[in-house]
Structure formats: structure tokens, C-alpha cells
Amino acid sequence: MKDAKVRISKTKTQKPKPFLTYKLPDPVRMDFAVDLSALLPTPTERKNFDRKWKSFIASDDANKSIYQRKGNRLLYKSEQLIPSKKDSRPALLLVFGNPASHSVQSGMFFSFKDNGKENRFWKSILKPSGIVDLPFDPSLSADVLNMERQERLLNLDYDAPFRIGLCVIISMPSAPGGKWGGVAGIQKLIGAKAMRRLEEAERKRVVRCSKEFLSKDGVVVSFQKNAWNSLKSDEDPVYDINLAKPGKLKGKIENCPGVSLFGVPPTRLLGPCREVLSKVLMVDYFE
């Protein structure tokens, strides 16, 4: 009986397996696996997900090469760009909502268009805000341009006041717009309750990434509502666009009191995003 009691006690203390797991096959890619039975524990949640799945996958041509379902397991590719090299510059971690499917397929955040045009995030936000200006040759193919940009960021081969890393708060990719676009599209697919479960698992991943990448003088910038609300400490305000636009979303990463967190307007608001980003990083941070 004593042995039986010991076995029961050990069973009670076992931690449940995480429903979200991942590995990093290279510095800019992440391979995820989700246990759908844990993410969607009720029959209704699973039924709704299965009903919406085909429409979601058809919303972006890249989805077919990114997502794969095997029974209760959902497998997919995502993105994260964290340079392993270090230098004397403070680290800056840029956190977005979720990846665009075509960028994951291209292997680069905010990838170049097929015609060689630079994504507006680099051209109209980071460059004019003074954060970083990454040179490129527009005569090269999009594939070459994406690879060249990836290498520059990983090798810290750029003139900027910060050492830059990029990640997302929700790892599941989606179309850049439309019914299934962005984080809203992922929530539409899995439901609000499952999104809360997913956010908690993803938050732990991003906090872990922050601790590994950021030095004591590092800073995190959130470009999206879910990212801010997931990463902020309890003392910080909940996301409000009316606080983000004047640059008043400021706080600390939860459980990382030494790491500053700034919330800026979403990238779709080019002007406000650029202006606030420049203010909080190029003025407030260096004061």
C-alpha cells in the first residue's frame, strides 16, 4: 500500500505536457506543433475549427506550404529573427502580432515584393524614424534581396543605434488582410477562449526570448494590441490606441523588471507608428 501511495503522489505532481512546442532549425525559422485536443478541449471548439479550416487555408497561397495537420497535431512554420552576435549597442526587440504567410514562405520578416519593391515597414517606418536604413540593390531578385537582408540583420551589418531582433506574439501565420488576416484571423479560426490559452503559451516563449536576447539596457517595442497586453506587467495600463498614438504606452516586461516596454501604433498607421517609434526610441530612451 505504501508503494501505491507513493505512485499516486508522484502522479499528482506531474506537470501537464505543453500543448505548444517548437524548435529552431535555423536563425530565422521556427517549427511549431500544437496539440489541438488541448488547445480546443471542447467538442464545440473543435467542430468550429474543423468547419473553418479549409476557408482559412485557402485565404493565402502560402498557407498550403506552411501548415500541416496530422490527427490532433497541427504543424506549421513561423518566423523569428534573433542575432546570436553581440556588440556594444543596446538590444532592441521588435514584437509584432503574427507573421504574414508569404513572409514565412520567403524566409524574411516584411519580405520584398516579387517586383523587388521594399516592404513599407522598412521603407516608411524604420528608415525615416532613424532606427535603421538597410541598403539594397533593386535590380536583384526578391529571393536574393530577402536572403541579403536576413544576413545583414543576423551579422549586425548595418548602421543603427541598436542591435535589432524581431519576433511575434502569435506564431501562427495568416494572410496579411481580409477575413482571415492578422491576429484577428487566427482568433476567428480558433475562437476567443483558445486564443487566451495560446497567448499564455506564446507569452512565455517571447519572455524567454527577451531574457536571452536583451542586455540590461535593452528595450522591447510592441506594435500590436495582443503583444502589449501579453507582455506588460500588472502595473501597466491595458492597450489603448489613444495611449499608443501620443507615445504614452510605457511599462516593463512582466517578470523582467529591468526591461523597458514601449507600445506604438500598429504598422498600418504609417505616420503615427513612425513618429511614436522615433520619439520613444530616439528621444525618450536616450534621455
Instruction: Name the band, by pLDDT with cuts 50, 70 and 90, for residue 259.
Output: confident
DSSP string, 228-277: HHHHB-TTSPPP-HHHHTTT-EEEEETTEEEEEEEE---TTSHHHHHHHH
How many other β-carbons are positioned within 10 Å of the β-carbon of residue 193?
14
Mean pLDDT, rounded, for 224-242: 94
Percent of the chain beyond pLDDT 90? 76
Report the DSSP beta bridge partners of residue 26.
29
The pLDDT, as a whole number, for residue 215 is: 74
Please say if the pLDDT value at position 151 is more than 80: yes
Residue-range domains of the chain with CATH: 15-78 (no CATH), 82-284 (3.40.470.10)
Q: How far apart are the first and last CA of the chain?
A: 67
Mean pLDDT, rounded, for 88-93: 93
User: Which pTM value belongs to this model?
Assistant: 0.90
Q: Sign of dihedral through CA atoms 131, 172, 152, 112?
A: negative
Cα–Cα dist 259/201, whole Å: 20
Instruction: Name the band, by pLDDT with cuts 50, 70 and 90, for residue 13.
Output: low
Please say if the pLDDT value at position 6 is more than 60: no
Please say if the pLDDT value at position 228 is more than 80: yes
For the chain, give the mean pLDDT.
Answer: 90
Mean pLDDT, rounded, for 181-199: 96
Please say if the pLDDT value at position 182 is more than 80: yes
Cα–Cα dist 125/131, whole Å: 9
Strand-by-strand arrangement of the 67-70 sheet? 20-26, 29-35, 73-79, 67-70
Q: With beta carbons less than 8 A apart as the criterion, state whether 280 and 250 touch.
A: yes
